[in-house]
Every structure is written in structure tokens, then in C-alpha cells.
Structure 1
Amino acid sequence: MGRQVLTWIGAQAAASGRRYVRLATARDDRPLRAYYERAGYRHVGDPPHAKWPTSLYERAIESG
């Protein structure tokens, strides 16, 4: 079901003319981070001053 949600989010972003889907997740949740990476998301950083330990991810929207 998670992949279906990510696919739907990507379709919504594409329909809105977005170039990327971005998300934030818990920095210490290694299984979830690995899941997003397998789904094509790229780790773009860990903001040092976030209220909670956070990792940021993004995935380019495929055109066409």
C-alpha cells in the first residue's frame, strides 16, 4: 500500500506541474529511510537545527 500512496502523490505532484516530491522522515528510522531510498527518493540532508532528528528526501517527477 505504501508504494501506491507514493505513486499517487507523484501523480498529484505531476498534475500540479511540480518537478519534485519532497518528504521528511525521522533520521533514526533506518528501515523507513531505506524504504524511501528503494522507492527512488534521494537523501538531500539532515537539517542540524530541526526540532526533531530529521532526514530530508526528494524524488524527481517523471514527465510523460
Structure 2
Amino acid sequence: MHINTKRFELEIHRDSIWVRVSLFGRTFQTFRDFSGQGLSATNWIKDAEYPTETESRSTLI
């Protein structure tokens, strides 16, 4: 399942969950893996530090 709005993104798979929420100029991201590997990551970042869609595409080229 994948839900994506301007301020909220949620992606759920059978073995993992990923959430991104943007509020008040900050972005909260978290990832959890439930497949037994125990992978997880969580961070808060300022939106100015978060690359825009155009910037992230240009770095991939």
C-alpha cells in the first residue's frame, strides 16, 4: 500500500513500513523492517536540507 500527499507519505509492505511527515518546516522520516533483519532508521531534518524533487533527480543523472 502506498499513500502520498504533499505533507505525508506512507508505504507499507508485508515486511516493512516507511513513513515521512512534513510539519512546521521539519520532516520526520522513519523506516522499520519486520522481516527479521532488524533494520530501522529514523531522523528529523529541516525542509531546507531536504532535496526537492528536481534537485534529487539532477543528482541521479
TM (norm. structure 2) is: 0.28
Question: Would you tell me which structure has more strand in proportion to its own residues?
Answer: 2
TM (norm. structure 1) is: 0.27
Question: Would you tell me which structure has more helix in proportion to its own residues?
Answer: 1
Structure (1 or 2) with the larger CA radius of gyration: 2
